[in-house]
Amino acid sequence: MIGQLRHTVTLGTDVFGNLQRMDNALEGLPIKEQACREQLSNLQTQLETAKAEVQKPFPREAELNTKTARLEELNSLLNLDHKEPEIVDAEPDEDQRPPERRRPQLER
C-alpha cells in the first residue's frame, strides 16, 4: 500500500507558490494521519460495543411475542391481508342527482 496513496494540491502559475503549497500539504499529512488513527480507534471501540450489545438478550422479548401474536390474530379476524376492495356505495344518493334543466318558457 505504500506508494499507492495520492494527495492532491491545487497548483498555480507561481513556481515558489507551488513549492510552498506542496510543503504545506506535506506538513499536514501527520495531522491527517493522527486524525485517521483516532477515527479508526473510535470505530473499533464502537464495533466491540456493538458486538457486546448483540449478545445481550432483548428485555421485552416476551411482550413483543405476545403483541405480535395478538396482531396476527386481529389481522386474520379482519382479513386485512387478503381482503379485496369493496364498493361501499354503488348507487348515488338522491341528493347527488344532477339538477334538472329548466326550460325557459317563452310567451307567444
pLDDT of residue 12: 87
Read off the pLDDT of residues 46-70 as tens digits, 9 standing for 90 and up: 999 999 999 988 888 899 999 999 9
- The per-residue pLDDT for range 26-41, each reduced to its tens digit, is 999 999 999 999 999 9
Give the C-alpha separation, 33 to 107, whole Å. 101
Mean pLDDT of the 71-80 span? 84
Given pLDDT bands bounded at 50, 70 and 90, which one contains residue 89? low
Nearest to 36 by CA among 7, 56, 71: 7
Tell me the domain boundaries of the chain.
15-78
Bigger pLDDT: 70 vs 87 = 70
State whether the Cα torsion 39-43-46-48 is positive or negative.
Answer: negative
pLDDT of 84: 64
3-state SS of the chain: helix, strand, coil percent to 5? 55, 0, 45
- What is the rounded average pLDDT of the residues 67-85? 80
DSSP 13: S
